[in-house]
Chains A and B, each alone.
Chain A
Amino acid sequence: MEILNVLNINKSFGGIKAVNNLSFAVEQNTITGLIGPNGAGKTVTFDIITGFTKPDSGKVLFKKQDITNKQPFEIARMGIGRSFQLVKLFPQMRVLDVLLFSSQNKLLQHEFRLSPKSGRFKAIENILTSLNIENLRDKICGELSYGEQKLVEVASLLVMQPTPEILLFDEPTSGLSESEINNIINIFQKLRERNFTFLIIEHNMSFIMNICDKIIVLNYGSKIAEGKPQEIKQKKEVLEAYLGESENA
């Protein structure tokens, strides 16, 4: 089943076309990669899906429902979680507070109610254990390493209420070491078994080839290829976009 549909979206900034008539679909319970050279419009596409940027034209459907004109927080509540390219969590908050914040019901009437937090604490403990970062629980986010912050960001998406169905990751491996990348791969694969759907922007080719079911290649805001990792590797347009035109062109 297609959980997310992007239909003919266009977005220009001044005279520059950031996204050009882009359409694609994300199947439920798969990992889809969104790749392309710098400035290809990947992050703008993410911003359009999550409502932080409005497209000039086109539609975004989530579970067949039009979300194009919804507010970003409404889209998040419907079940789309996203990470950001530059991890900037809440620098002065404790990890536990960040996760408690993420796991709370953010409708105002719930926030003043003195509800027992024990259930939430338990869920948070479980997520921390499954990501193997229990030891970070009481640390201040700003004092964590880059890799640790990325894991906390993943945790914050997993404890989020209501639990997101699709997770959008913007360069989850940038700035990470080899072992940390392997850890992320493990985590993503485990999460897919738990029925999460992924859409991932990434520059790390071995990571993306390793983990994705489908890859979409963007260049200058347009889709130039779409398919299984093995097919993408062979495509001439993709190689050209990444490596430049061939000599005799």
Chain B
Amino acid sequence: MKLKYIIIGVVMLLTAFFPFFTPNNYYLHLIIMIMIYSVSAAGLNLMMGYLGLLPLSVAAFAGIGAFTSANLMIRYNTPFLIALLAAVLLAAVVAASIAVPLLRTRGIFYVIGTMFFQLITYELFLNLVEITGGSIGLRGVPKPELFGYSFSSILELYYFILLMTVATHSTIYLIVKSDFGRSLLAIKENEVKAISLGLNPYTHKLFSFSISMAIAAISGALLAHYLSHISAENFSLLQSIDVFLMVTIGGPGTFYGPIAGAVIWTIVMEVLLSFRGLRELLYGVVLVILMLIIPKGAIGFPMMNMRKMLRTLPIRKFVSAIFK
């Protein structure tokens, strides 16, 4: 496992010194977006990968976080950290309150329930013009600041968001490696057995959903203050599905998976940008191929036995199923 730490060290060094190598700000922007996405993907992974329940409401909570924090800073000049904290708390409370009925359902009903919450919230974002600016959105969201120092240039923003991302991921790391993280895995693997060993699955699901959605709110708030202009379109069902895809591509249930997924997803989307109308179609094709080649996600890829993998490649089954 030494290789793992070398890779992590190299990636961290590269990220830290990236602004000194980059030819232009476009790449800085790309990395910032990756970092923001990786936060929401890691949050979703807590539910989807560790607990095994898929909420399709990440973008809704990111939106709640974004609009709360943006409004507090625009209207009341609230310091950034307090606005962020309020956004996170509001998201956690809303999540807990919708979780009470939602967690009584399971499987596909849970997914559909969260999806409806996402759709309703999107409509609210569109129609609560006073707060969200409706379809035009909010312009001029202040740049983040810490103790009076405002991060306004892209270089400053890059390091600020890097700091926030590292802080969030470290917190998530502590959570998944704690007893709580182990309990979530146990619920996913065998809920009845976990209960028989004395675990209350209900509170664990409730907390996990709250934490997961609060992390989505962090990423939403970061997005709002970085882009300065947000609208309901940033927080639609499509975005929720994108985050789900990032986790799937990267490897659900692993700590590094969602981060890798956010990187791959963003790069693939950027490469496909030149295909314009064909983008979604090609994206679907790339996704199907990725899932066939690496069903356990990108993070499981290096651990796979290459020869065995080639022999049992699901893509062969897929092809033979088509041409049968």
Q: A residues bordering B, Cβ < 8 Å? A: 50, 52, 71-73, 76-77, 81-82, 84, 88-93, 97-98, 100-102, 104-106, 108, 110-112, 114, 156-157, 160-161
Contact = CB atoms under 8 A, between A and B. Distances in A.
Given A101-B186, A111-B178, A106 B199 contact: yes
Given A90-B185, A106-B200, A72 B195 contact: yes
Interface of B: 174-175, 178-180, 182-183, 185-186, 189-190, 192-201, 203-204, 207
B196 A72 contact: yes
B183 A111 contact: yes
Contacts, number: 85
A88 to B, nearest CB: 6
5 contacts: A73-B201, A84-B192, A93-B185, A106-B183, A108-B180
A26 B186 CA distance: 31
Contacts of A90: 185-186, 189-190, 193-194
Contacts of A156: 197
Q: Which are the 7 A-B pairs with shortest beta-carbon distances? A: A90-B189, A76-B198, A111-B180, A111-B179, A104-B179, A77-B198, A106-B199
B281 to A, nearest CB: 35
A82 B196 contact: yes
Given A101-B182, A110-B179, A111-B183, A88 B193 contact: yes
B185 A104 contact: no
B305 to A, nearest CB: 15
A82 B179 CA distance: 22
A97 B196 contact: no
A101 B179 CA distance: 7
Contacts of A100: 179, 182
Interface centre among A72, A81, A105, A110 (most CB of B within 10 A): A72
Given A100-B182, A101-B182, A114-B178, A73 B200 contact: yes
Nearest to B200: A73
B203 to A, nearest CB: 5
